């Protein structure tokens, strides 16, 4: 029987809640302004910390009425301010609440409210705007729709500490693109916000600092400007250094370190500057230790990875600071069964976010090991490191998979690691699995790693070949992404290097001549260079050269002609002439060159070119054509003498480049033998 009674009971409770909420909304329409004000104050008290009540009031249409009252100049300033407070409280509920408020045009209404000179009202509007804008569901572009808004917000900065806190917080949350950085910069963000770094209010200092970190990120103009800013007679980098001191709150230390990191990466501070080497880097390493909160350790590791990514000296310094490499191993054991966390809420949060620690550790290891062989060795020798990377490649979180493959890519630059750790742990297997079905971002990194695993000295090359990788790589060359096309063709190029004829034939069959020649006219210069590299590797060793030229000679000669005639870089032309020199090294393959006078004239032209590398490649080609010990060499020598090649070679023997003059002399000796 109890079961039967339960449903009506629920309905009556719900209708009671809705009736109470309805009562609050009805009072907003009372003709007596005093009763309306009291109704708004009561509503404010009712919604504090009560998400259910907030949702009910939104459903019952409280928002449009509150916004209407807030806009009316006939409403008292107290009423308008209380309406802004209630709206701010509603915004502190769920993401759905925020969506409803944004749909009711709360942002333009509140921005309009900022034109009112009353400080209490403008502070209430700004507090509400701050709450709306820090939500991930709010479109930040709404701050930039009206071009008068940013300059007006700048003018309000001096009104009070509250306006300073709210406005800088709005700016730091709404600065998401280079265009946003430019708008804020052009409206004087730096000179308006810099004095706030020495405010007596910690909240204001903190929000101003966050503002500078988002303004400086990957922005050379902003960073260069910041270096020269003075705050109370002190240069800004020094202000940031003070904020990184151990006696400052961790949040401040971290954000100041981010500011200096971004300024350094944007080229405004040298990587060997004391404020980077002696202050920023040690501060970020300190953030990675286990006494810090999970999010601090994540942010510290990711910022450190970004700081030293392009600089081998910083990588070396970091790798020997506070046992960082070993310290990062703890990121994979968190939270441990003996975790010191007694706060259940914190433990629950950390269990849900533990994958972020793994992601950050992989990123930092990738950055640490990107250049130095000794650091890579140190990383791979860290307890169970290779096993951790392998399991990271198949984690459910896409971000962890990407970071793990980044780490693997960084380590795969080491010949020693390719021969040892990579082989022992058969990392090619999970890598191949990852390549089957992944977003482009992961595919780019995974295929880059595969390129290294296919180098001729890598023991993984054979098993990868046997796993049917050629088809996968050929499909990558058809991608819309230039990075994937480059990696696909690069891997095939590495695979074709000193490969068996069977492998080469399979590459040509699977890629197809049509696709191969399409890649030779690819708009991306890297794709073209790697395709020429592939062709050069396919056309090596005589039997292979003759076989490929007998089936595809006509198209290959056409492609070579097109490239030599077109506007291409010297590197592209040199690679093409090297392909021609390889063809000239074949037996029957010499014929298509010797019967093509136009091509021979081109070779002669490049022998007289101003670029030594092009001269050298062209001379190689002629040398291969006239080599004595081969059938028909006399006829070829006679023809080339008639075309003026002997004179050209004589000229080259006088070259100031020793390699070129030696090569020309060697070629001339063929005529004397």
Peptide bond into 335 cis (omega under 30): yes
Q: What is the pLDDT averaged over residues 111-118? A: 95
Helix (H, G, I), strand (E, B), or coil: what is residue 217? Answer: coil
User: Is residue 13 very low, low, confident or very high in pLDDT (cuts 50, 70, 90)?
Assistant: very low
User: Is residue 374 very low, low, confident or very high in pLDDT (cuts 50, 70, 90)?
Assistant: very high
CB neighbours of 489 closer than 8 A, spacing ≥ 6? 473, 477, 519, 527, 530, 531, 534
Q: What is the pLDDT averaged over residues 530-544? A: 93
Which pLDDT belongs to residue 336?
61
Per the CB < 8 A criterion, the answer to whether 430 and 386 are in contact is no
117 alpha carbon, distance to own chain's centre: 44
User: Is residue 339 very low, low, confident or very high in pLDDT (cuts 50, 70, 90)?
Assistant: low
Which pLDDT belongs to residue 371?
93
User: Is residue 6 very low, low, confident or very high in pLDDT (cuts 50, 70, 90)?
Assistant: very low
Q: What distance in Å separates the CA atoms of residue 367 and residue 609, rounded to the nearest whole number?
A: 42
Residue 290 has pLDDT above 50, yes or no: yes
Task: Flag the least confident range among 253-267, 346-360, 437-451.
Answer: 346-360
Residue 235 has pLDDT above 80, yes or no: yes
Which pLDDT belongs to residue 352?
84
User: CA 351 → CA 334, 356, 392, distances in Å?
Assistant: 8, 10, 17
User: Is residue 11 very low, low, confident or very high in pLDDT (cuts 50, 70, 90)?
Assistant: very low
Which pLDDT belongs to residue 457?
86
Residue 288 has pLDDT above 90, yes or no: yes
Residue 15 has pLDDT above 50, yes or no: no
Task: Flag the least confident range among 17-31, 279-293, 381-395, 607-621.
Answer: 17-31
Q: What distance in Å separates the CA atoms of residue 43 and residue 41, rounded to the nearest whole number?
A: 5
Residue in 310, 308, 359, 305 with CA at minimum distance from that of residue 331: 359
The pLDDT tens digits of the residues spanning 462-511 come to 899 888 899 999 999 999 999 999 999 999 999 999 999 899 999 999 99
Q: What distance in Å separates the CA atoms of residue 561 and residue 601, rounded to the nearest whole number?
A: 11
Residue 94 has pLDDT above 50, yes or no: yes
CA angle centred on 368, ends 365 and 369, rounded to 5°: 85
Residue 49 has pLDDT above 90, yes or no: no
Q: What is the pLDDT averaged over residues 111-138? A: 96
User: CA 307 → CA 6, 104, 131, 162, 375, distances in Å?
Assistant: 61, 43, 31, 33, 17
Residue 138 has pLDDT above 60, yes or no: yes
Residue 329 has pLDDT above 50, yes or no: yes
User: Is residue 306 very low, low, confident or very high in pLDDT (cuts 50, 70, 90)?
Assistant: very high
Extract the runs of DSSP E, i.e. beta strands, from 343-417.
Answer: none
Q: Average per-residue pLDDT in the chain?
A: 92
The reported pTM is 0.84
Residue 230 pairs with which residues in a beta bridge? 235
Q: What distance in Å separates the CA atoms of residue 560 and residue 558, rounded to the nearest whole number?
A: 5
311 alpha carbon, distance to own chain's centre: 17
């Amino acid at each position: 029987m109890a079961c039967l009674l339960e449903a009506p009971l629920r309905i009556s409770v719900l209708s009671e809640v809705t009736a109470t909420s309805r009562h609050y909304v009805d009072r907003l329409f009372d003709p007596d302004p005093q009763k309306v004000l009291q109704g708004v104050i009561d509503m404010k008290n009712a919604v504090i910390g009560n998400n259910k009540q907030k949702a009910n009031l939104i459903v019952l249409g409280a928002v449009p009425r509150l916004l209407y009252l807030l806009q009316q100049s006939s409403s008292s300033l107290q009423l308008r301010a209380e309406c802004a407070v209630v709206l701010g409280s509603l915004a502190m509920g769920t993401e759905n609440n925020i969506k409803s408020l944004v749909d009711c045009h709360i942002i333009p209404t509140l921005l309009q409210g900022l034109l009112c000179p009353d400080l209490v009202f403008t502070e209430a509007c700004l507090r509400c705007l701050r709450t709306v804008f820090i939500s991930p569901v709010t479109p930040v572009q709404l701050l930039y729709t009206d071009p008068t808004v940013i300059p007006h917000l700048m003018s309000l900065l001096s009104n009070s500490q509250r306006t300073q806190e709210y406005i800088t917080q709005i700016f730091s949350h709404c600065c998401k693109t280079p265009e946003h950085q430019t708008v804020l910069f052009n409206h004087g963000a730096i000179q308006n916000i810099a004095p706030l770094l020495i405010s007596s209010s910690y909240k204001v200092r903190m929000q101003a600092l966050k503002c500078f970190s988002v303004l400086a990120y990957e922005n050379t103009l902003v960073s260069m400007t910041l270096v020269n800013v003075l705050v109370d007679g002190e240069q800004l980098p020094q202000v940031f250094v003070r904020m990184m001191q151990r006696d400052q709150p961790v949040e401040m230390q971290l954000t100041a370190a981010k500011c200096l990191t971004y300024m350094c990466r944007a080229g405004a501070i040298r990587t060997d500057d004391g404020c980077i080497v002696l202050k920023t880097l040690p501060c970020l390493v300190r953030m990675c230790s286990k006494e810090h909160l999970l999010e601090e350790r994540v942010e510290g590791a990711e910022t450190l990875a970004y700081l030293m990514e392009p600089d081998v000296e910083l990588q070396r310094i970091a790798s020997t600071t506070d046992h960082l490499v070993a310290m990062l191993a703890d990121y994979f054991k968190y939270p441990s069964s003996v975790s010191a966390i007694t706060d259940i809420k914190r433990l629950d949060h950390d269990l849900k976010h533990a994958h972020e620690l793994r992601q950050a550790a992989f990123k930092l290891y990738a950055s640490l090991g990107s250049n130095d062989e000794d650091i890579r060795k140190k990383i791979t020798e860290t307890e169970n490191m290779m096993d951790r990377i392998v399991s990271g490649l198949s984690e459910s979180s896409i971000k962890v998979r990407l970071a793990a493959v980044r780490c693997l890519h960084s380590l795969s630059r080491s010949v020693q690691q390719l021969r040892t750790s990579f082989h022992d742990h058969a990392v090619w297997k999970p890598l191949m699995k990852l390549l089957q079905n992944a977003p482009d971002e992961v595919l780019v990194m995974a295929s880059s790693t595969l390129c290294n695993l296919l180098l001729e000295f890598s023991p993984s090359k054979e098993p990868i070949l046997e796993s049917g990788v050629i088809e996968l790589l050929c499909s990558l060359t058809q991608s819309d992404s230039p990075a994937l096309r480059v990696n696909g063709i690069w891997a095939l190029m590495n695979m074709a290097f000193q490969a068996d004829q069977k492998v080469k034939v399979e590459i040509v069959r699977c890629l197809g001549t049509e696709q191969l020649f399409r890649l030779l006219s690819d708009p991306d210069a890297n794709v073209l260079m790697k395709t020429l590299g592939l062709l050069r590797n396919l056309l090596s060793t005589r039997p292979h050269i003759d076989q490929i030229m007998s089936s595809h000679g006509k198209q290959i000669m056409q492609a070579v002609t097109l490239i030599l005639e077109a506007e291409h870089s010297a590197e592209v032309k040199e690679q093409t002439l090297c392909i021609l020199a390889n063809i000239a090294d074949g037996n029957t393959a010499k014929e298509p060159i010797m019967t093509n006078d136009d091509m021979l004239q081109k070779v002669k032209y490049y022998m007289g070119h101003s670029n030594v590398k092009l001269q050298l490649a062209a001379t190689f080609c002629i040398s291969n054509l006239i080599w004595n010990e081969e059938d028909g060499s006399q006829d070829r020598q006679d023809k080339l003498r008639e075309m003026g090649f002997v004179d050209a070679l004589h000229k080259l023997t006088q070259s100031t480049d020793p390699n070129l003059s030696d090569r020309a002399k060697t070629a001339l000796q063929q005529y004397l033998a």
